[in-house]
């Protein structure tokens, strides 16, 4: 009998009707003779709403008191979703039981809002499975060694699913979302983006790091580390399409390019001094020792740590990142293409598996489409 971990993202369970649809998907796989563990995110919009509640009461916190309560609040969306999804399964005649991370427990490090899973006790999961009950686990949450609830960073249910797949030795980890898999670019921005049947861990890590939020960056690091096979597929369309993230890659053009990520979520921080040791605990992208991409959501936290007049922030930027191998041979051609199309390039960063163009924020989507058309058409 195969064992699958199935994770459903916020859009897949956005309404009660969508939850019924998800219950049907699970029931179908169960009736085909598979063992199943379900991981659920919060219903779409709930985590943002809870986060906004906590922002109404920014306090003079002692130690981590503020961040501890934020995680206690923000983690609740998943608890609600797990209970409702279990009820929906029961209404289909399937035995199901919700578990919060602390009940399992899913152990995690103590960095509030961005914790990392350190261990999973699988006893309750296998007990449920052997009683023919589907365990429905809250994603995004972890339990620290001090018995505090922590969250795993935005999109962190993906990490919960990958970790559970590893610790239970599941055959595959299915990440159900609102698109049919990983595409050559965000299919909501590039209308003729193409589905990638196979993506390597390393290329997916790079795509996710630079904005392809279909998988959380940290979850792909974890999947690579533990060699978890991750399949991304749609809970909306029954289209038999999916993308498999493993060590295998399969370029769909002759330019060795896997895909293009983009983001308007960053600020470009330029410093006069090396601040690596100050900001290393934050999830930032270190372009070099004096230039960093910092998520807009944490830019104030970082600014508070820096001395006045030692840095500048450029808020009006967007990034487009081309991911693949042997990119040196194509960089001049792509840069010239952007210049010819009047895209204002502020900075170019070259890594082993990627080229990032930092452009004016108003040019991000145009630049993405120009590059995509050139590379894939």
Which residues of the shown chain bind ligand ASP in the complex (CB under 6 A)? 9-10, 41-42, 47, 77, 139-140, 154-158
User: Under the criterion CB under 6 A, does residue 257 sit at the interface with ligand ADP?
Assistant: no
Contact 94, 38 (CB under 8 A): no
User: Cα(255)–Cα(325) distance, rounded to whole angstroms?
Assistant: 9
User: Under the criterion CB under 6 A, does residue 318 sit at the interface with ligand ADP?
Assistant: no
**Least CB distance to ligand ASP at residue 157 (A):** 3
Pick the stretch among 9-17, 27-35, 289-297, 337-345 that binds ligand ADP (CB under 6 A): 9-17
**Least CB distance to ligand ASP at residue 135 (A):** 18
DSSP string, 12-28: GGSSHHHHHHHHHHHHH
Q: Nearest residue by C-beta to ligand ASP?
A: 157
User: Under the criterion CB under 6 A, does residue 214 sit at the interface with ligand ADP?
Assistant: yes
User: Under the criterion CB under 6 A, does residue 10 sit at the interface with ligand ADP?
Assistant: yes
User: Cα(4)–Cα(38) distance, rounded to whole angstroms?
Assistant: 8
User: Cα(230)–Cα(244) distance, rounded to whole angstroms?
Assistant: 6
Q: One symbol per residue from 152 to 191: x for binding Mg ion (CB under 5 A), - otherwise; what is it?
A: ---x------------------------------------
Is the Cβ of residue 189 or residue 303 nearer to ligand ADP in the bound state?
189
User: Cα(287)–Cα(369) distance, rounded to whole angstroms?
Assistant: 24
Please choose which of ligand ASP, ligand ADP, Mg ion, none residue 142 contacts, taking the beta carbon within 5 to 8 angstroms, the exact cut-off set by kind: none
Contact 166, 226 (CB under 8 A): yes
- Bridge partners of 183, per DSSP, are 195
Output the six-digit token pair for 231: 């399949």
Output the six-digit token pair for 201: 């861990």
Is the Cβ of residue 30 or residue 218 nearer to ligand ASP in the bound state?
218
| Residue among 9, 187, 211, 318 that touches Mg ion (CB under 5 A) | 9
User: Cα(151)–Cα(294) distance, rounded to whole angstroms?
Assistant: 20
Beta strands in 206-274 (DSSP E): 230-234, 243-246, 257-263, 266-271
Please choose which of ligand ADP, Mg ion, ligand ASP, none residue 230 contacts, taking the beta carbon within 5 to 8 angstroms, the exact cut-off set by kind: none
User: Under the criterion CB under 6 A, does residue 203 sit at the interface with ligand ADP?
Assistant: no
Q: Nearest residue by C-beta to Mg ion?
A: 155
Pick the stretch among 212-220, 292-300, 312-320, 332-340 that binds ligand ADP (CB under 6 A): 212-220
Please state, as a whole number, how many other Cβ atoms lie within 10 Å of the Cβ of residue 374: 15
User: Under the criterion CB under 6 A, does residue 9 sit at the interface with ligand ADP?
Assistant: yes
- 3-class SS of residue 345: strand
**Least CB distance to ligand ASP at residue 156 (A):** 5
Q: What angle do CA 189, 195, 197 make, to 5 degrees?
A: 150
**Sole residue written with tokens 């103590």:** 110
**Least CB distance to ligand ADP at residue 214 (A):** 4
- 3-class SS of residue 291: strand
Is the Cβ of residue 18 or residue 68 nearer to ligand ADP in the bound state?
18
User: How far apart are the two ends of the chain, measured CA to CA in Å?
Assistant: 43
Contact 41, 10 (CB under 8 A): yes
268 closest CA partner among 364, 369, 359 = 359
Size of the site for Mg ion (CB under 5 A): 2
User: Cα(6)–Cα(231) distance, rounded to whole angstroms?
Assistant: 10
**Sole residue written with tokens 């309404």:** 15
Is the Cβ of residue 233 or residue 275 nearer to ligand ASP in the bound state?
233
**Least CB distance to ligand ADP at residue 104 (A):** 21
Output the six-digit token pair for 313: 């922030």
User: Under the criterion CB under 6 A, does residue 153 sit at the interface with ligand ADP?
Assistant: no
Please choose which of ligand ADP, ligand ASP, Mg ion, none residue 154 contacts, taking the beta carbon within 5 to 8 angstroms, the exact cut-off set by kind: ligand ASP
* Helical (H) or strand (E) element with 67: helix 65-74
| Residue among 4, 99, 102, 183 that touches ligand ADP (CB under 6 A) | 183
**Least CB distance to Mg ion at residue 158 (A):** 6
Residues that bind Mg ion (CB under 5 A): 9, 155
List residues binding ligand ADP (CB under 6 A).
9-12, 41, 155, 177-179, 182-183, 185-188, 212-214, 259
């Amino acid at each position: 009998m195969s064992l699958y971990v199935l994770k459903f993202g916020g859009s897949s369970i956005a309404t009660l009707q969508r939850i019924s649809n998800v219950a049907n998907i699970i029931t179908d796989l169960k009736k085909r003779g598979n063992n199943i563990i379900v991981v659920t995110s919060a219903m779409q919009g709930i985590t943002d709403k809870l986060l906004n509640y906590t922002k109404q009461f920014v306090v003079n916190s002692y130690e981590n008191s503020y961040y501890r309560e934020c995680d206690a609040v923000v983690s609740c969306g998943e608890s609600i979703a797990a209970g409702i999804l279990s009820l929906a399964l029961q209404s289909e005649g399937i035995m199901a039981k919700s578990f919060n991370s602390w009940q399992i427990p899913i152990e995690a490090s103590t960095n509030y809002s961005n914790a990392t899973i350190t261990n999973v006790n699988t006893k309750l999961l296998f007990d449920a499975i052997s009683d023919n009950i589907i365990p429905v686990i809250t994603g995004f949450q972890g339990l620290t060694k001090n018995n505090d609830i922590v969250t795993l960073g935005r999109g962190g249910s993906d990490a919960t699913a990958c970790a559970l797949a590893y610790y239970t030795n599941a055959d595959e980890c299915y990440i159900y979302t609102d698109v049919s898999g990983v595409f050559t670019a965000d299919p909501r921005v590039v209308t003729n983006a193409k589905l990638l049947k196979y993506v390597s861990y390393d290329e997916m890590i790079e795509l996710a790091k630079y904005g392809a939020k279909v998988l959380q960056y940290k979850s792909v690091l974890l999947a690579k580390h533990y060699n978890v096979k991750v399949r991304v597929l749609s809970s909306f369309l029954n289209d038999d399409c999916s993308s498999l993230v493993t060590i295998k890659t399969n370029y769909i053009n002759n330019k060795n390019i896997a895909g293009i990520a983009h983001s308007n979520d960053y600020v470009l921080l330029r410093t006069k001094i090396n601040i690596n040791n100050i900001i290393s605990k934050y999830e930032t992208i270190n372009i070099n020792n004096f230039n960093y991409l910092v998520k807009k959501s944490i830019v104030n936290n970082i600014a508070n740590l820096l001395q006045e007049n030692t840095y500048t922030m450029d808020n009006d930027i967007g990034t487009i990142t081309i991911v693949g191998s042997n990119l040196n041979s194509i960089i001049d051609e792509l840069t010239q293409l952007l210049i010819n199309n009047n895209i204002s390039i502020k900075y170019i960063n070259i890594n082993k598996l990627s080229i990032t163009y930092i452009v004016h924020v108003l040019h991000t989507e145009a630049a993405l489409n120009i590059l995509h058309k050139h590379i894939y058409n």
